[in-house]
């Protein structure tokens, strides 16, 4: 496969992962499918959702490079040359940075757990992060591997599952786009040094 065709494949492959990442991040603003918490995001929304790792990192910073990367793969396109391949390295690096940002935000969000209403040590209902190491009972192990702890969050309903599912989606998408953009950086380097199929024709 020549460098141009590889670029076209990578560019097209980036689109669905970027779009899924954006949609998953938007859904996270409605924990438990409720709109009650969007009005007070600073106090009742999981902070990592507000980092917009899926919208900015795995979304916009991947979509923009995808457009140029795909353009370098068009046989009759203006970017199917050494200069276009060089630029694709820069764009792919932007995609790598965005993917790393989205990936990191998702990992932190999953480890620290969601914001929810739960009973503290005094059996008082409070809104916070019960799995963030602030309650003695949860310091010994991660809630991710102990499903019995998930019922600690009383509101929003099923927020722990909601949090894990959508952070996992963003995590997976940004992980894949990170790999694809890294491959494109190497592909762009070969295309820059050796030329493209369009130039050889």
What residue segments make up the domains of the chain, in order of their start? 3-200
Cβ(187)–Cβ(3) below 8 Å: yes
User: Higher-confidence residue: 85 or 17?
Assistant: 17
Average pLDDT taken over every residue of the chain: 84
User: Strand, coil or helix: what is 113?
Assistant: coil
Predicted local distance difference test score (pLDDT) of residue 156: 86
Predicted local distance difference test score (pLDDT) of residue 198: 52
Query: Alpha-carbon distance 139 to 175, whole Å?
Result: 28
Predicted local distance difference test score (pLDDT) of residue 135: 44
Predicted local distance difference test score (pLDDT) of residue 201: 47
User: Higher-confidence residue: 151 or 167?
Assistant: 167
Query: Alpha-carbon distance 34 to 46, whole Å?
Result: 14
Tell me the pLDDT tens digit for each residue of 126-165.
888 888 754 444 445 678 888 888 888 888 888 999 999 9
- In degrees and rounded to multiples of 5, residue 116 shows phi and psi of -160, 170
Tell me the pLDDT tens digit for each residue of 33-47.
888 777 766 677 888
Residue with tokens 């963030």: 132
């Amino acid at each position: 496969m020549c460098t141009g065709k590889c670029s076209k494949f990578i560019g097209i492959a980036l689109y669905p992962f970027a779009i899924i990442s954006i949609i998953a991040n938007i859904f996270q603003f409605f924990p438990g499918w409720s709109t009650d918490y969007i009005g007070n995001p600073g106090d009742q929304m999981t902070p990592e959702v507000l980092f917009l790792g899926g919208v900015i990192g795995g979304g916009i910073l991947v979509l923009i490079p995808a457009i140029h990367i795909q353009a370098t793969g068009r046989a009759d396109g203006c970017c199917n040359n050494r200069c276009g391949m060089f630029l694709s390295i820069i764009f792919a690096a932007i995609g790598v940075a965005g993917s790393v940002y989205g990936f990191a935000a998702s990992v932190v969000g999953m480890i620290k757990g969601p914001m929810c209403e739960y009973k503290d040590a005094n059996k008082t209902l409070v809104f916070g992060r019960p799995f963030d190491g602030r309650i003695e009972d949860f310091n010994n192990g991660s809630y991710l591997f102990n499903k019995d702890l998930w019922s600690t969050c009383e509101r929003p309903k099923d927020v722990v599952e909601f949090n894990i599912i959508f952070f996992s989606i963003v995590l997976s998408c940004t992980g894949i786009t990170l790999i694809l953009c890294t491959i494109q950086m190497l592909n762009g380097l070969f295309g820059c040094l050796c030329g493209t199929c369009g130039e050889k024709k």
